[in-house]
Amino acid sequence: MELTHTRYQVGQRLKHPQFGEGLVVEVHTDRGREMLEVVFGGELRRLSAQREWELVEGSRPVSAAAGPAERARAIHPQGEKALERWRAGDYVPAEQFALRAQAERWARWAGTDRLISLDSLRGVERFSHQIKACLKVTRDLNGRAILADEVGLGKTIEAGIVVKEYLLRGAVRTVLVLVPASLCEQWRAELWEKFELDFVVSRGPAGQWGRHPLVISSLETARHERHRRRVRGANYDMVVVDEAHRLRNHLTLGWKFLNDLNPRYLLLATATPVQNDMRELYNLVTLVRPGTVGTFSQFRRDFLSGHDKRVPRNTPRLRSLLESVMIRTRRSDTDLEFAPRKVEAVWVPQTPAERLLYRKVSDFVADAVHGDAGPGRPHYFTLMVLQKEMGSSWAAAASTLEKLAREPGGLDARRLKLLTTRAQEASRSPSKVRSLLKVLASLGEEKAIVFTQFRSTQDVIVDALIAAGIEPAVFHGELTWREKEDALDRFRTGARVLVSTEAGGEGRNLQFCRIVVNYDLPWNPMRVEQRIGRVHRLGQEHPVRVIHLAARGTIEAYVLEILDRKIKMFELVVGEMEEILGTWQPHGSFEDEVFRRWIETSDTRARKRRFAELGQHLVVARRLYQKQKDQQSWLFPTLAEEEEGKS
């Protein structure tokens, strides 16, 4: 670009009588004539530099219109009403006036040093690092930031607080939250329950774009060709992206879509902004605040070492630049302390009949899945549930087998009937219940929560406990609000045992209990973590005991082996398992992978080998995760360090 010595310079703004205000983006000489290139409302025009165009007052070069603040003043119509009332002599008693003044005080948006949204949160534990992070986002970063806290420190809560803050202050009317498809519902529920933000999940071919001010969607849906234009048309004031490491690659549709969307406020939440290449960090920073680390050529020249794409140079300078775009809190910077946890596996001694039945049903499931080649694999999900039920209770499995036997839909009906009869027989005296009773007896008077995935298993447990003289509190998703509250109240104040399904009180504080018994083991590690999280959370003052009941040779035994022995999941902090799975998971869910490997073969040695491989993959994923974590801890500036620097 050839700069000339005219009165015009790149970055200035000028006024054109016809096109209005425009930004000078280029000044050059064309065949001896000085020319300007100016953008007027999205159109590039060439103007002669010989003419005296009116420059916008205070307009400076390059800063692109850092002129005087565009000011607008308004008098609220209520003022006119107030004066009318005064003119008319319409007075109220002083006490009523004082009440009105109080209402003003409560409704007022505080200064920038206080978050008004904090007063409106329900059931949310507030930690100082979260409040500091939110203040930094709203006050210093003007609503555009990468939230890069280590896992388990509440990035979701921070994003929710910032969204609510902007909504309450009237700076934002429309918000789009982009999350992985599997988390849409979880985000919707959390934003409603904790922040009273009524988001809708955009589904279907029409979507909710522009129809509802607060929308949650998966990135894949929003960027889909069918929706892209309408999402842009909805002109969202604020966009929040969870698991934003999916935007690390600038060549992906997701990155391009978001770069094009360019909302006024943008939050990217990820614990791992860099994985393999510093370019990923550059891409995320450029989405949020273009130019913070220069163009990529400048970034490469200034901050990348030639030999390793993952290793930056000139780190202090890079860290200081990142402070203006990124917020990171490490666990070690906080005062959060978790009680230790101890994990025990209780191996259930199955009777020979139970062992045989388990093998027979597993074989049936494997055969049925392999033969289930119809469109959409109609039985796949039912068969997977049946396999899970066998790890839970014979009663649960018997009920599904019975249903299938009644309506086989192409499955082997004769075999199903036989298996149903045997399962019903086995359910009369299950070994697992006996093991549970032994475990509970060994706990003395200590309170314990017994978790199961299935309602029918829950009934079996409750009946057995009552027969043994233990009156449990029972909690499941079909109870009304009042019944749920009563059940938890009963457990808190009297009952020794709470028997709960998965709906075991998400977000409820049960720290007064320290023992979790997993009567059955979900294959999804996140679910296991959620169960333990009911008691193992901040505020728990005693060591937590987690007891798993499983029989050797079952799918649950393999899963337990991987989670406990291989990747030592129970030593991880909350949220880390999700990160490891995210690092590993190239396709499908962990549950699917477990089931797939189980039904591949009925040979025990081959199964052991296949599960050992899966364990090895996860060990690698854990190492990779640890490496990333270490790398990021020295690269990214943390809030605590910033504060130290300031002081």
Residue 586 Cβ vs another protein, minimum distance, rounded to whole Å: 24
- Would you say 345 and 563 are in contact if contact means Cβ atoms under 8 Å apart? no
Cβ partners under 8 Å of residue 195, min gap 6: 117, 120, 121, 124, 160, 161, 163, 164
CB closer to another protein out of 126 and 609? 126
Part in contact with another protein (CB under 8 A); list of ranges 206-214, 454-462, 507-515, 625-633: 507-515
Site for another protein in 267-296 (CB under 8 A): 279, 289-292, 294-296
Q: Which value, to the nearest 10 degrees, does the dihedral of the CA atoms of residues 549, 554, 559, 562 take?
A: 100
109 binds another protein (CB under 8 A): yes
> How many beta carbons lie within 10 A of that of residue 250, not counting itself?
17
306 binds another protein (CB under 8 A): no
Residue 128 Cβ vs another protein, minimum distance, rounded to whole Å: 8
Residue 119 Cβ vs another protein, minimum distance, rounded to whole Å: 5
Q: Distance between CA 387 and CA 383 in Å, rounded?
A: 6
Cβ partners under 8 Å of residue 341, min gap 6: 532, 536, 543, 544, 545, 546, 570
466 binds another protein (CB under 8 A): no
Cβ partners under 8 Å of residue 346, min gap 6: 435, 439, 547, 548, 549, 550
Residue 322 Cβ vs another protein, minimum distance, rounded to whole Å: 14
Q: Which position among 6, 29, 112, 633 is part of the footprint of another protein (CB under 8 A)? A: 112
Q: Which position among 10, 443, 619, 640 is part of the footprint of another protein (CB under 8 A)? A: 10
Cβ partners under 8 Å of residue 200, min gap 6: 188, 208, 212, 214, 215, 216
Q: Distance between CA 564 and CA 576 in Å, rounded?
A: 14
Cα→Cα distances 120→44, 128, 129, 164, 193, Å: 47, 17, 18, 9, 11
Part in contact with another protein (CB under 8 A); list of ranges 107-115, 178-186, 378-386, 436-444: 107-115
Site for another protein in 147-206 (CB under 8 A): 164, 168-171, 193, 196
Q: Where do the DSSP E strands lie in 271-373?
A: 326-327, 341-347
Part in contact with another protein (CB under 8 A); list of ranges 114-122, 555-563, 603-611, 626-634: 114-122
Q: Which position among 117, 221, 420, 453 is part of the footprint of another protein (CB under 8 A)? A: 117
Cβ partners under 8 Å of residue 232, min gap 6: 260, 261
Q: Distance between CA 622 and CA 94 in Å, rounded?
A: 67
Q: Which position among 15, 34, 55, 120 is part of the footprint of another protein (CB under 8 A)? A: 120
Part in contact with another protein (CB under 8 A); list of ranges 120-128, 177-185, 436-444, 465-473: 120-128
Q: Which position among 79, 371, 543, 588 is part of the footprint of another protein (CB under 8 A)? A: 79
Q: Distance between CA 110 and CA 107 in Å, rounded?
A: 9
CA-closest candidate to residue 304, choices 291, 295, 313, 294: 313
307 binds another protein (CB under 8 A): no
Q: Which position among 18, 72, 428, 444 is part of the footprint of another protein (CB under 8 A)? A: 72
Residue 220 Cβ vs another protein, minimum distance, rounded to whole Å: 23
CB closer to another protein out of 100 and 623? 100
Site for another protein in 390-429 (CB under 8 A): none
Q: Which position among 107, 352, 445, 478 is part of the footprint of another protein (CB under 8 A)? A: 107
Q: Which two tokens stand for residue 6?
A: 């005219």
CB closer to another protein out of 97 and 381? 97
640 binds another protein (CB under 8 A): no
Number of residues counted as binding another protein (CB under 8 A): 116
478 binds another protein (CB under 8 A): no
CB closer to another protein out of 196 and 613? 196
Instruction: Provide the sign of the torsion angle of the four alpha carbons 529, 533, 536, 537, taken in this order.
Output: positive
CB burial of 432-450 (b: ≥16 within 10 Å; e: otherwise) equals bbebbbebbeeeeeebbbb
Cα→Cα distances 87→15, 76, 78, 100, 359, Å: 45, 18, 14, 19, 90
20 binds another protein (CB under 8 A): no
101 binds another protein (CB under 8 A): yes
46 binds another protein (CB under 8 A): no
339 binds another protein (CB under 8 A): no
Site for another protein in 525-564 (CB under 8 A): 538-541
